[in-house]
Amino acid sequence: MPYIKVSGLTKEKICEVSDDLIEIVSKVTKTDKQKIRVFYNPMLEILDSKVCENRLNIDIDWMPRSQKMCDKVANEFKEYFKNYNFEIIKVYFTEFVKEKYYI
């Protein structure tokens, strides 16, 4: 854990950038890279009955971390993808409740 779920990129592109995304999270959080997972999320955003194009959504599920750490990861991801010319880049964090997380 953490789990990084990306929508707005093709599966192939996510495979290409996955090591970089893992590196960003590992560096900021000091988490072992082997514990970080990247997922392709084919979710599409719909607005006014149309698919929203040119948007990147990154959802990160993890155990509770500080706001400073969330800000740092979000900023690193936005910086990483800035040359991809996305209209909007959204980064959203969800914290697992430790007692309700089962493996």
Structural domains counted in the chain:
1
d(C-alpha 72, C-alpha 76), whole Å: 6
pLDDT at 75 exceeding the cut of 90: yes
Which whole number is the average pLDDT over 77-101?
92
**pLDDT 10s digits, 9-61:** 999 999 999 999 999 999 999 999 999 999 999 998 899 999 988 999 999 99
Q: In this structure, are residues 64 and 31 in contact, taking their beta carbons and an 8 Å threshold? A: no
Give me the torsion for CA of 21, 67, 47, 81, rounded to 10°.
-30
The reported pLDDT for the residue numbered 99 is: 83
The reported pLDDT for the residue numbered 93 is: 97
Domain CATH number, residue 67: 3.30.429.10
pLDDT at 94 exceeding the cut of 90: yes
pLDDT at 102 exceeding the cut of 90: no
- Enclosing domain of residue 33: 3-100
